[in-house]
Structure 1
Amino acid sequence: MEIRSEFVIVNDRSIHVRVYNPDGEKTAICWHGLARNGFDFETLARELAQDYRVLCPDTLGRGLSQWARDPATEYNYPNYLAIAKGICEHFNVTQMDWIGTSMGGIIGILLASGPFKDKIQRLVINDIGPEIPADALARIIDYVSGEQPGFDTFFEYQDYLKELYGIWGQRSPDQWIRMTETSLRRNNQGQFTVHFDPDIIQKSDETVPVIDLWEPFSQVSCPILLFHGLLSDVLTLKIVKNMKRSQPDMRVITINDCGHAPGLHIPQHYEPILKFLS
Structure 2
Amino acid sequence: MQHLEWIRVDALDMAVRIWHPGARRTLVAWHGLARHGGDFAELAHRLGPEWRVLAPDTPGRGLSSWSPRPERDYTYARYAEVARALLDHFALARVAWLGTSMGGLLGLRLAAEPATASRIERLVLNDIGPEMAPDGLAELGDYFSRSHQFTSFRELEAELRHHYAGFGIENDDSWRRLALESARRLPDGRWSFHYDPQISAQFVHDTPRDLWRDWATLTCPLMVIRGAHSPLLAATTLARMAEIQPQLITLEAAGCGHAPFLDRDDQVTAIADFLACHTPQRRDL
TM-score (norm 1): 0.94
Query: Would you say the 8 A contact 1:158–1:180 is kept in 2?
Result: yes
Q: Partner letter of residue 143 of structure 1?
A: Y
Q: Indicate the residue corresponding to 2:155 in structure 1.
A: 156
Q: 2-side partners of 1:202 and 1:95: how far apart? A: 31
Residue 204 of structure 1 and its aligned partner are, at CA, apart by 6.8
Query: Would you say the 8 A contact 1:227–1:255 is kept in 2?
Result: yes
Tell me the SS of whatever aligns to 1:106: helix
Query: Would you say the 8 A contact 1:131–1:212 is kept in 2?
Result: no
Q: Structure 1: which 4+ aligned runs deviate by more than 4 Å?
A: none
Q: Indicate the residue corresponding to 1:254 in structure 2.
A: 252
- Are 2:137 and 1:129 aligned? no
Q: Indicate the residue corresponding to 1:33 in structure 2.
A: 32
Q: Indicate the residue corresponding to 2:215 in structure 1.
A: 217
Q: Kindly tell me: are residues 204 and 238 of structure 1, through their superposed partners in 2, closer, same or farther at Cα, counting changes over 3 Å?
A: closer
Q: Kindly tell me: are residues 203 and 271 of structure 1, through their superposed partners in 2, closer, same or farther at Cα, counting changes over 3 Å?
A: closer
Q: Indicate the residue corresponding to 2:282 in structure 1.
A: none
Q: 1-side partners of 2:30 and 2:275: how far apart? A: 16
Residue 260 of structure 1 and its aligned partner are, at CA, apart by 0.7
* Aligned CA-pair RMSD: 1.6
Residue 190 of structure 1 and its aligned partner are, at CA, apart by 1.7
Q: 2-side partners of 1:221 and 1:275: how far apart? A: 19
Q: Indicate the residue corresponding to 1:57 in structure 2.
A: 56
Q: Indicate the residue corresponding to 1:117 in structure 2.
A: 117
Equivalent pairs counted in the alignment come to 275
Residue 205 of structure 1 and its aligned partner are, at CA, apart by 2.8
Query: Would you say the 8 A contact 2:47–2:268 is kept in 1?
Result: no
Alignment of 1:1-278 (within 5 A): 3-114=2-113, 115-146=115-146, 148-202=147-201, 205-207=204-206, 212-278=210-276
Q: Kindly tell me: are residues 145 and 81 of structure 1, through their superposed partners in 2, closer, same or farther at Cα, counting changes over 3 Å?
A: same
Q: 2-side partners of 1:120 and 1:36: how far apart? A: 22
* Cα deviation digits, residues 58-97 of structure 1 (max 9, x gap): 0010111001111111111111010011011111111211
Q: Kindly tell me: are residues 204 and 224 of structure 1, through their superposed partners in 2, closer, same or farther at Cα, counting changes over 3 Å?
A: closer
Q: 2-side partners of 1:129 and 1:155: how far apart? A: 34
Q: Kindly tell me: are residues 211 and 140 of structure 1, through their superposed partners in 2, closer, same or farther at Cα, counting changes over 3 Å?
A: farther
Query: Would you say the 8 A contact 2:133–2:231 is kept in 1?
Result: yes
Could you tell me the percent identity over the aligned residues?
A: 36
Q: Partner letter of residue 261 of structure 2?
A: G
Structure 2 runs not aligned, ≥5 long = 277-285
Q: 1-side partners of 2:57 and 2:27: how far apart? A: 15
Structure 1 runs not aligned, ≥5 long = none
Q: 2-side partners of 1:48 and 1:88: how far apart? A: 21
